[in-house]
Amino acid sequence: MQPAVRSLFVTVRFPYPPITGDRLRALQQLRVLSERHSLTLVSLAGRPVEDEARKRVGAYCERLVVVPFRRREGAWN
């Protein structure tokens, strides 16, 4: 079945591994939404995201965009 709606999902931290509440919730929301939506995930990442993590999260997304983010620079801006 073709997803009916294209949606943008934004997170302030990459949702994998799901070891804290916000990551776990985001990953579950992606899983459920991906059943009916074509998702693009834009996620901030304070460190490089491993290929395995990209693969796991990418299974729920049509497109995955990881934006490098340093807290120091964020506070400065």
* SS3 of residue 59 by DSSP: coil
Q: 19-48, pLDDT tens digit by residue?
A: 999 999 999 999 999 999 999 999 999 899
Contact 40, 7 (CB under 8 A): yes
C-alpha to C-alpha distance for 10 and 19, rounded to whole angstroms:
18
Contact 74, 52 (CB under 8 A): no
**pLDDT confidence of 70, banded at 50, 70, 90?**
confident
Q: Does 76 score more than 60 pLDDT?
A: no
Dihedral sign for Cα atoms in the order 70, 63, 15, 26: positive
pTM of the shown model: 0.84
